């Protein structure tokens, strides 16, 4: 039934049903028109011959029309129809239309036999009407079922015209051909359009289903307005998101959708202001983020809208989509915050601080400020001894105390590790110093974590802008120099930058450069300070002390260059040289005289420490029992399992381990048990006032008692008077060293002292003297 165009199989039934409905409506009109035409012919030929025969034929045609009419009405009244039903319907209609066409043929031939001149015009009009009627009929089978017999009947009827008119006949034949072509062409186009319409309708249904499913399952919603910008068909999803009834959305967009926020946020340039201007211009917008108030909570919606134009190009409303992006917005804000803030302390990080410092420098001529660089003292010890969790807790608490010490317009940042920085909006150095003092005092107060008391200190360096510098790098350098000075002078203090610090820093760089050359030029020397047995005054060993013979500055002590060597990464190379040189020189001394060498923290953490010492002993030809390694308490706190194993390996070889400067660091009995110490060296700060300060005597007695119980030897450092030596011997201290016995001397001189036994003549303790001092 769909001739003229190839119809997909999945659309055949749908097309048949649509054609059946369209055909039924069309045939109802054609039937009414046909009955009207027959009425005109009946009246026009009322007084002509063969009345009864003519009436019978006309009656038969009318009956055929009525049957067709009834069939069409019944089809339209059907509730459910199928493809086979439509095919059967068309089959019946084709037969009825063939009968109808034949009836018209008989009637037209009869009428042409008895017409007069006036009736001829009516007949030609009927001819044209009959030929044109099937042109708009579809399907084509029904059109041809009526058109073919009509063409035959009209042709023969025209031959009976009296007088016969060839021109009229020719026109009729041409019109027949035209109507036939139109039937085929129109049916083909109608079928194409019908198929396209069905496809479009199916797509529309799919789109509607998808949109409905989208609104039900997605977080987005669809919205549309009319030309008056009134919301139309408010979706259920929108009412759920807004927590408002449908009735509350009446009114003009965007006020109707956004609600009460429109009353508060209409500032020029605000998102709502921009949205209103776009709507007023009837422009499109995409992903416009606007705030809304929902039950008192500020949330964020993303709106997209496109203006809809009618056929004449006039604005007829908006179609768009909206979504609640509050979660995404807050995630983005969180990501942006974390990108510019320290994740642990929530202070500004280095990136944000750098931006703020640049901004402050740009405006420093109008608004001066102070830059503080701060560093925690002894924080690494907390991390290593109590764990990183406690260390993190300390950092968080420090950050809270920093916030409490500054004003809301000042900026605090954590630059990394235990480094902090603050921008103080002040041009007064005294005010900056006062705030720095307050920060140091508060940060140095004890912290309590899991029942443990933790204490750290803080040092600060201060520089002023624009006085000291106008650029960020210069200010950071100045503050770092001031911080370095504060740490070098005892920590737990602040220092204000001055030009001399820059000069000292330049001097340090020059000295560090010269230090690299000193390694290559063999400018280092060792001096030895004797270690004396207090019981008989004999020299039983010496401590090797490094000196640098600077070509311009003369002989430099370790305190002037060891820190530089550690910063330059030269301490390992220098330390290995010291070990080798000390072992070589000590090998030439009497066998009862040992050699003590200090290890720096960096040497102590070297994984190849055991191999270095083994090599020094082997190359120097020194017995391991004569080598003593001195390690400070602070160094002990920076150990790991590998370094502990290294100490035990060395101890197993016979190398003695001494704990240097005992009492000045973070003394703990736990590491006295953990490490294989053979000796404790009492720091010179306890010896200085010995005999005058009772507290120092008590501490020394406690240390000596502790060492005896743990089978360790005790050495007192910094002994300068016979009185101090006598008291120490009375207390049970076995060994001592200091200026009383000898200053540090070159190796050659020390060898001469050993040969001559000079110290025994210089100091011989008397029992009576010791008794008198002890009595005091």
Given a contact cutoff of 8 angstroms between Cβ atoms, the answer to whether 222 and 211 are in contact is yes
Q: Tell me the pTM.
A: 0.51
Per 3-state DSSP, the chain is made up of helix, strand and coil in percentages (nearest 5) of 55, 20, 25
Give the Cα separation of 104 and 203 in Å (integer): 45
Higher pLDDT, 325 or 501: 325
pLDDT at 276 over 60: yes
Q: Most distant CA pair in the chain: distance in Å?
A: 181
Residue 447 main-chain phi, psi, to 5 deg? -115, 150
Coil, strand, or helix at residue 744?
Answer: coil
List Cβ<8 Å contacts ≥24 apart for 103-106.
103/57, 103/60, 103/61, 103/64, 104/61, 104/130, 104/149, 104/150, 104/153, 105/149, 105/150, 105/152, 105/153, 105/154, 105/156, 105/157, 106/57, 106/153
Instruction: Give start and end residues of each alpha helix (H) in 45-139.
Output: 51-76, 83-113, 117-132
Higher pLDDT, 768 or 610: 610
pLDDT at 364 over 50: yes
- pLDDT for position 423: 96
Mark 413-431 as b/e (b = at least 16 C-beta within 10 Å): bbbeebbbbbbbebbebee
Give the Cα separation of 130 and 141 in Å (integer): 17
What's the whole-number mean pLDDT along residues 576-583?
Answer: 94
- pLDDT for position 399: 95
pLDDT at 7 over 60: no
Strand partners, 544: 528, 597
> Exposed (0-12), middle (13-18) or buried (19+): which is 471, by Cβ within 10 Å?
middle
CA angle 431, 496, 430 (to 5 degrees): 15
- pLDDT for position 210: 53
- pLDDT above 90 covers a percentage of the chain that reads 34
Q: How many other C-beta atoms lie within 10 A of the C-beta of residue 198? A: 17
Highest mean pLDDT among 53-57, 117-121, 578-582: 578-582
pLDDT at 762 over 70: no
Coil, strand, or helix at residue 70?
Answer: helix
Task: Band the pLDDT of 12: cuts 50, 70, 90.
Answer: confident
* Predicted confidence (pLDDT) per residue in 550-560, tens digit: 888 888 888 88
Give the number of residues written for the chain: 776
- pLDDT for position 20: 84
- pLDDT above 70 covers a percentage of the chain that reads 88
What's the whole-number mean pLDDT along residues 356-375?
Answer: 94
Task: Band the pLDDT of 694: cuts 50, 70, 90.
Answer: low
Task: Band the pLDDT of 770: cuts 50, 70, 90.
Answer: very low
- pLDDT for position 775: 31
pLDDT at 117 over 70: no
What is the signed CA dihedral for 759, 761, 764, 769, rounded to 10 degrees?
-130
User: Among 414, 426, 415, which Cα is nearest to 360's?
Assistant: 426
* Predicted confidence (pLDDT) per residue in 422-456, tens digit: 999 999 999 999 999 999 999 999 998 877 888 89
HSE, side-chain direction, 13 A CA sphere, residue 476: 13
Mean pLDDT of the residues in the chain? 84
Instruction: Indicate the helix (H) or strand (E) that contains 598.
Output: strand 594-598
* Predicted confidence (pLDDT) per residue in 459-482, tens digit: 999 999 999 999 999 999 999 999
Give the Cα separation of 481 and 496 in Å (integer): 9
- pLDDT for position 3: 46
* Predicted confidence (pLDDT) per residue in 136-160, tens digit: 887 888 888 888 888 888 888 878 7
Please give the C-alpha separations between residue 665 and each of 162, 554, 562, in angstroms, as whole numbers: 142, 32, 19
Task: Band the pLDDT of 218: cuts 50, 70, 90.
Answer: low
- pLDDT for position 769: 34
pLDDT at 260 over 60: yes
What's the whole-number mean pLDDT along residues 92-116?
Answer: 82
pLDDT at 324 over 50: yes
- pLDDT for position 587: 94
Given a contact cutoff of 8 angstroms between Cβ atoms, the answer to whether 684 and 717 are in contact is yes
Give the Cα separation of 757 and 538 in Å (integer): 8
Between 117-126, 240-249, 526-535, 601-610, the lowest mean confidence (pLDDT) is in 117-126
- pLDDT for position 758: 53
What tokens does 133 get? 């009627």
- pLDDT for position 419: 94
Beta strands, E only, 551-591: 554-556
């Amino acid at each position: 039934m769909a001739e003229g165009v190839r119809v997909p199989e999945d659309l055949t039934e749908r097309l048949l049903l649509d054609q059946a409905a369209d055909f039924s409506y069309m045939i109802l009109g054609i039937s009414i028109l046909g009955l009207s035409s027959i009425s005109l012919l009946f009246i026009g030929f009322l007084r002509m011959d063969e009345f009864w025969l003519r009436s019978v034929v006309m009656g038969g045609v009318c009956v055929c029309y009525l049957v067709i009419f009834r069939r069409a009405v019944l089809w339209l009244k059907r509730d459910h129809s199928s493809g086979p039903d439509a095919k059967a319907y068309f089959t019946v209609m084709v037969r009825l239309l063939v009968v109808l066409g034949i009836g018209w043929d008989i009637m037209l031939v009869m009428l042409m036999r008895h017409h007069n001149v006036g009736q001829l015009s009516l007949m030609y009009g009927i001819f044209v009407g009959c030929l044109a009627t099937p042109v708009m009929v579809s399907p084509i089978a029904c059109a041809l079922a009526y058109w073919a017999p009509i063409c035959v009947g009209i042709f023969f009827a025209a031959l009976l015209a009296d007088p016969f008119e060839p021109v009229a006949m020719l026109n009729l034949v041409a019109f027949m051909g035209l109507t036939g072509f139109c039937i085929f062409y129109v049916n083909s186009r109608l079928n194409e359009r019908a198929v396209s319409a069905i496809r479009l309708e199916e797509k529309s249904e799919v789109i509607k289903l998808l949109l409905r499913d989208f609104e039900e399952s997605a977080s987005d919603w669809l919205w549309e307005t009319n030309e008056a910008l009134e919301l139309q068909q408010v979706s259920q999803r929108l009412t759920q998101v807004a927590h408002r009834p449908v009735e509350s959305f009446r009114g003009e967009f965007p006020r109707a959708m956004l609600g009460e926020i429109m009353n508060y946020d209409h500032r020029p340039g605000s998102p709502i202001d921009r949205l209103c201007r776009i709507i007023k211009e009837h422009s499109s917008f995409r992903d416009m983020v606007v705030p809304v108030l929902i039950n008192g909570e500020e949330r964020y919606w993303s709106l997209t809208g496109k203006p809809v134009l009618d056929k004449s190009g006039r604005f007829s409303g908006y179609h768009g989509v909206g979504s609640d992006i509050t979660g995404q917005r807050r995630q983005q804000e969180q990501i942006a915050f974390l990108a510019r803030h320290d994740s642990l302390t929530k202070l500004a990080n280095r990136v944000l601080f750098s931006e703020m410092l640049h901004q402050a420098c740009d405006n420093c001529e109008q608004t001066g400020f102070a830059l503080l660089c701060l560093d925690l003292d002894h924080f690494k010890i907390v991390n290593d001894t109590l764990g990183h969790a406690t260390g993190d807790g300390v950092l968080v608490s420090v950050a809270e105390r920093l916030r409490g010490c500054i004003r809301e317009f000042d900026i605090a940042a954590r630059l990394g590790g235990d480094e902090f920085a603050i921008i103080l909006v002040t041009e007064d150095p005294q005010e900056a110093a006062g705030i720095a003092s307050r920060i140091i005092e508060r940060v140095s107060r004890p912290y309590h974590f899991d029942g443990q008391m933790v204490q750290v200190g803080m040092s600060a360096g201060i520089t002023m802008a624009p006085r000291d510098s106008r650029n960020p790098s210069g200010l950071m350098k100045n503050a770092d120099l001031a911080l370095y000075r504060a740490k070098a002078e005892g920590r737990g203090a602040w220092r204000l930058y001055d030009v001399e610090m820059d000069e000292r820093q330049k001097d340090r760089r020059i000295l560090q450069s010269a230090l690299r050359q000193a390694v290559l030029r063999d400018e280092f020397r060792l001096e030895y300070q004797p270690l004396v047995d207090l019981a008989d005054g004999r020299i039983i060993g010496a401590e090797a002390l490094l000196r640098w013979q600077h070509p311009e500055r003369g002989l430099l002590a370790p305190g002037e260059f060891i820190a530089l060597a550690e910063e330059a990464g030269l301490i390992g190379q220098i330390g290995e040289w010291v070990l080798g040189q000390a072992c070589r020189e000590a090998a030439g001394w009497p066998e009862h005289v040992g050699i003590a060498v200090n290890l720096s923290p960096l040497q102590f953490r070297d994984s190849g420490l055991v191999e270095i010492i083994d090599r020094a002993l082997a190359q120097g030809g020194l017995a391991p029992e004569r080598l003593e390694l001195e390690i400070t308490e602070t160094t002990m706190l920076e150990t790991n399992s590998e370094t502990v194993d290294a100490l035990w390996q060395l101890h197993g070889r016979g190398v003695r381990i001494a704990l240097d400067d005992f009492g000045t660091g973070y003394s703990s009995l736990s590491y006295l048990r953990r490490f294989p110490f053979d000796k404790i060296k009492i720091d010179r700060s306890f010896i200085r006032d010995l005999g005058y300060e009772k507290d120092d005597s008590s501490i020394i007695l406690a240390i000596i008692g502790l060492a005896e119980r743990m089978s360790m030897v005790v050495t007192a450092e910094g002994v300068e008077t016979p009185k101090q030596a006598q008291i120490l011997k009375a207390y049970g201290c076995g060994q001592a060293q200091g200026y009383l016995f000898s200053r540090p001397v070159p190796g050659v001189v020390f060898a001469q002292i050993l040969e001559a036994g000079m110290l025994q003549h210089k100091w011989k303790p008397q029992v009576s003297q010791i008794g008198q001092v002890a009595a005091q």
